[in-house]
Structure 1
Amino acid sequence: MGDSGATGALTRRRRATLAAGKGADLLPMNGRSAAVRQSSVTTDITRDNGQAKRNRSLETVQSKSKTEKRKNDIRERLSCHKTQESLLSSASGYNNYRGILNWCVVMLVRHKYGVLVDPIQVISLFLNDSYSWPACLVIVSNMFILVALYTERQLSKGSFTELVGFLVHCINLAIMLTFPAAVVLLVPSMTPVGGAVVLGTYTILFLKLYSYKDVNMWCREQSTVKAKTLARSLSCKSQTRDRKVFYPGNLTIRDIYYFVSAPTLCYELNFPRSPNIRIGFLLRRLLEMLFFTQLLVGLTQQWMIPIIQSSMKPLEDMDLSRMTERLLRLAVPNHLLWLMFFYGFFHSSMNFTAELLRFGDREFYKDWWCVNSETVTYFWQNWNIPVHKWCLRHFYRPLLRRGFSKMVSQSAVFFLSAFFHEYLVSVPLRMFRLWAFMGMMAQLPLAWFVGRFLRGNYSNAAVWISLIIGQPFAILMYVHDYYVLHYRQEAT
């Protein structure tokens, strides 16, 4: 009985202890009750769930952002044209010509020769010798166009692997550069003017077919990842009544010859199109083309040739003071002729072709002449938009995607440009002096110097001076070397 009573008392004490412990949980601890602590735990759980949701939402946004960025990159690669007017067209509404004032300060014009214009001499340059105007080489260029089209058709059907198609394109493009150059060098009757025209035609075609190859390859890449659509009109807000073309429906003779004829170097499946042909606009551009052609020929005979002829003696004697004087005298007419060529080619002739083809994107140049043109790179990026777009789309950005730095990629673009400048000058003259090549490569240190040390009107004037002095210097060097190589040897 005593043991059982002791056991019962111990059990009661244990229960009391447990009850006290449970009751203690109901008492405030550090100023908070159990209910409050339970609420805190619930709040923490809710906060964690909310943070997790926000993290998931952020990840979703980032994923969508990456996807959208990738889509924009694809659209940017596949489309680089939009419907717009040229800056010098009245419809563009552009009126910022303040940079011309700096040009006027730099330029001083004087004239002392009589009337030396002889149109018959220019016409006879192309008609006296039928072989001197190599139209046959321009006709042969159609073979390279058809080879590119055939290769792309075989690739679209799977008859060619990507490696085989790449090799065929490389061979086709390599022959395009070497074949006309070999003909110009080996055929004695080929004149420098005829050779320059042929090589210029083949160079343009080379850049076009390279773009044609790249864009169709991008379309095949997108088809392998099951893209929803491959029409590059996605980023083109064009006013057109034509139906859209999808890959491989673009691989037709009509499509590739439209691209070859269009005033652009960058291929697209669906170019922006203007609604109609404006006859008045077309006639104005035609009259400008005829006028500037005659003016360029006349001023070359009247102004340029006499200065060049009078420069031979100072160059032979290496008279530095007289050479500098001849260089400055040549700079004025050369630069005026260059400005006339710019307007006649980039505005008149390219707008004429675009109007005929209803090609909507008329941005062939930007305002490189304005006060914003304070760096050399700004000028090169804006004075020739078709070439700039090609370099950006098919050369500069691919190099960046492969991990090259901006400086290396920019240097590579200037190197490519320097190569084609030398190719278009040295081969027709049948001599290799690298003056054009070095002149283009010199733009890199010049761009660094102007961008680092000059500002405002000073940098803008420096850009103008580099354009005014650089070109006549290269012309004098080539003329002197050509004279020494041909006429001095004949005289002796």
Structure 2
Amino acid sequence: MGDLNTTGSITRKRRATLSAAKASNLQPLSEIPARLALGDPSPENEPRNRRERTKTKSDTRSQNSDISARLSCHKTQQSLLSSASGYSNYRGILNWCVVMLVLSNARLFLENLLKYGVLVDPVQVISLFLNDPYSWPAACLVIVSNVFIVVALYTERQLSKGSFSERVGFLIHFINLAVILTFPAAVVLLLPSVTPVGGAFALGIYTILFLKLYSYKDVNLWCRELSTVKARRMVRSLSCPTPQHFHKGEHKVCYPGNLTIRDMYYFVFAPTLCYELNFPRSPEIRMSFLLRRLFEMLFFIQILVGLTQQWMIPIIQSSMKPLEDMDLSLMTERLLRLAVPNHLLWLMFFYSFFHSSMNFTAELLRFGDRQFYKDWWNSESVTYFWQNWNIPVHKWCLRHFYKPLLRRGVSKMASQSAVFFLSAFFHEYLVSVPLRMFRLWAFTGMMAQLPLAWFVGRFLRGNYGNAAVWMSLIIGQPFAVLMYVHDYYVMHYKHEEA
């Protein structure tokens, strides 16, 4: 009995297994797993086989590429220093130039210290402004300038009310502007207590005031013209800005609501020469930015004074004898010796004035337009340099002098020449009057920019033009400095030594 039961159970198990096999064989072909079709019935081996096949293919490709690299190692390409390569990252070379410049000038500075000793004297700087400690003529001149500001504001108020005719207003403005230029010049020339440095400072303030009040006169005249024709938009000035210039809590001022003491003195102190009824304003005063600019101003003033006393003055003094003897070789040597420190001081002055001081003033007044200069160091023509190194003056010349000449039918070349002539006049005015001698070196130097601009624009391009601009800056300025210093020395000290 037991054997029969055992045999029956085995038979039932075989039948169950055969039934399961038949059922699996009856499954549709689409339901067969992909691994059975690939001949790998084991799920555990699927990732390993895929990796092995991928590795085999990648190994084959790497072997092929390695063989190709060994067969060919060249391709069409340009040298990095070639202009056709498009390469522009020369930071390492620039750093090398800076290091070489610092090392060479450090040697010259050390040689100067060993030869002349320490010449820096801060007390001597004060004497450049004051002959008599109880008499401040240059400061008094600056204080008197408020009279001309009040006259211009009063005239515009009377014109807005119709109390003055346009002809009378023009006459008052003309006299006011003429006196702004002649009165301080007469004081500097006739008053011996005004030092050359103090006189240059006072005349610089009056020149800036002249340009500002001229712009003030023009813009208010344009506003009256627009109100006469009942125009809604100002075409020839930016006195009606778009709403993005204003921040929360600010409102737009319209003519004649701008004719106030507050508006006038904001414009007088603002770092611009072109007047607007509504200047773009920054949202707030950034104290960290303000303090950085203040530190830069104080630092560069000390550096400028120290380098002038220690470096430039000894070279200038040693240049007097070759200039008197007309020794061309020694004159050239002194000129080249003076070129580097003079240019270094000019660069420091540019940064301290156009970046540090003007940004400091703009931040303090929340003046929004901070474009005081552009990339003049990339100038490939003389014209581009003069248009971009001093943006406030360029804007004034373009707005109030160059374009009005074009509108009156003057040719473009004649208008450009007139702009250079005006610039040459003010350069000579700011140098000759404080020195109390008229040699026209500054005037001639500025007018010489016209043929130089034509030559560079006609014959030089790209890097050659940029090099020509740098050469004119590095060599031209010290040449003018030597000429004025020599003439001043001959006029004031030569007879005393004789």
After TM superposition, the score normalised by the length of structure 1 is 0.77
| Paired AA for residue 270 in structure 1 | N
Report if aligned partners of 2:381, 2:469 keep a CA contact under 8 Å in 1.
Answer: yes
Does residue 1:436 correspond to 2:442, yes or no? yes
The secondary structure found in structure 2 opposite 1:228 is coil
Residue number in structure 1 paired with 2:318 = 310
Q: Could you tell me which of 444, 463, 474 is aligned with 1:468? A: 474
Q: Deviations over 1:191-246 (max 9, x none)?
A: 00000000000000000000000000000111111112558233574242311000
Q: Which has the higher contact order (CA 8 A, sep 6+)?
A: 1
In the TM superposition, residue 183 of structure 1 has moved relative to its aligned partner by: 0.2
Pairwise CA RMSD of aligned residues? 2.2
Q: Which residue of 1 aligns with 2:259?
A: 251
Q: Does 1:232 find its partner at 2:232?
A: no
Contact 1:102–1:457 (Cα < 8 Å) also in 2? no
Measured against aligned partners, the alpha-carbon deviations of 1:404-429 in whole angstroms (never above 9, x if no partner) come to 11100000000000000000000000
1:184 aligns with 2:183: no
Closer/same/farther in 2, CA of residues 269 and 97 from structure 1, 3 Å limit:
farther
Deviations 1:68-92 (A, max 9, x none): xxxxxxxxxxxxxxxxxxxxxxxxx
Q: Deviation at 1:354?
A: 0.3
Q: Which runs of structure 2 are paired with 1:303-452 in the superposition (5 Å)?
A: 303-370=311-378, 373-452=379-458
Q: CA deviation at 1:127?
A: 5.0
Q: 1:122 aligned to 2:122?
A: no
Q: Tell me whether 420-429 or 121-130 shows the greater mean CA deviation.
A: 121-130
Equivalent position amino acid for 1:283 in 2: L
Query: For the Cα contact (< 8 Å) 1:346–1:364, is it kept in 2?
Result: yes
Q: What is the letter of the counterpart of residue 477 of structure 1?
A: M
What SS is found at the alignment partner of 2:245?
Answer: coil
Structure 2, unaligned runs of 5 or more: 1-88
1:490 aligned to which of 485, 493, 496:
496
Greater shift, 453-462 or 167-176, is seen at: 453-462
Local SS of the residue matching 2:241? helix
User: What is the Cα deviation at residue 434 of structure 1?
Assistant: 0.2
Alpha-carbon spacing, 1:106–1:392, altered in 2? closer, same or farther (3 Å): farther
Aligned mate of 1:288, from 281, 287, 296? 296
What's the counterpart of residue 276 of structure 1?
284
Tell me the CA shift for residue 162 of structure 1.
Answer: 0.7
Deviations 1:173-192 (A, max 9, x none): 00000000000000011100
Identity across aligned pairs (percent)?
Answer: 80
Judged with a 3 Å threshold, the aligned counterparts in structure 2 of structure 1 residues 311 and 490 are, in CA distance, closer, same or farther, namely: same
How far did 1:298 drift? 0.3
1:219 aligns to what?
223
The TM-score, its normalising length taken from structure 2, stands at 0.76
Which entry has the higher C-alpha Rg, 1 or 2?
A: 2
Q: Residue by residue, what CA displacement relative to the aligned partner does 1:110-152 show, whole Å, maximum 9, x if unpaired?
A: 3321132111211343355243552111110000000000100
Matching of residues 152-191 of structure 1 within 5 Å:
152-191=156-195
How many residue pairs end up in the alignment? 396
Cα distance change on mapping 1:238 and 1:116 into 2, 3 Å? same
Letter in 2 for 1:218: W
Q: Which amino acid aligns with 1:185?
A: L
SS in 2 for 1:159: coil
Distance 1:98 1:448, change over 3 A: farther
Which of these residues, 254, 257, 268, is aligned with residue 260 of structure 1? 268
Asked if structure 1 preserves the Cα contact closer than 8 Å seen for 2:128 and 2:198, the reply is: no
Alignment-mate amino acid for residue 455 of structure 1? R
| Matches of 1:100 and 1:238, distance apart in 2 | 39
Structure 1 unmatched runs, 5+: 1-94
Distance 1:356 1:190, change over 3 A: same
Write the letter of the residue equivalent to 1:482: Y
Q: Distance in 1 between matches of 2:96 and 2:412?
A: 31
- 1:370-423: CA deviation from partner (whole Å, max 9, x where unpaired): 2xx100010000000000000000000000000111100000000000000000
Tell me, yes or no, if the aligned pair for 2:131 and 2:193 is still in contact at 8 Å.
no
CA distance in 1, matches of 2:483, 2:166: 46
Deviation of the 1:480 alpha carbon:
0.5
Separation in 2, partners of 1:244, 1:164 = 30
SS, match of residue 280 in structure 2? coil
> Is 1:454 equivalent to 2:456 in the alignment?
no
Contact 2:315 2:338 in 1 (8 A): yes
Match of 1:61 in 2: none
Distance 1:101 1:248, change over 3 A: farther
1:56-135 to 2 correspondences below 5 Å: 109=105, 110-111=108-109, 112-114=111-113, 115-127=118-130, 129=132, 130-131=134-135, 134-135=138-139
Q: Name the amino acid aligned to 1:263.
A: P
**1:233 match: secondary structure:** coil
The alignment status of 1:147 with 2:146, answered yes or no, reads: no
Residues 199-214 of structure 1 mapped to structure 2, 5 A cutoff: 199-214=203-218
- The alpha carbon displacement at 1:105 in A equals 12
Aligned equivalents of 1:103 and 1:263: distance in 2? 34
Indicate conservation of the 8 Å contact 2:130/2:198, yes or no: no
Cα distance in 2 between the residues matched to 1:437 and 1:228: 43
Q: Secondary structure at the match of 2:493?
A: helix
1:98 and 1:270 mapped to 2: Cα distance?
A: 45
Residue identity opposite 1:234 in structure 2: P
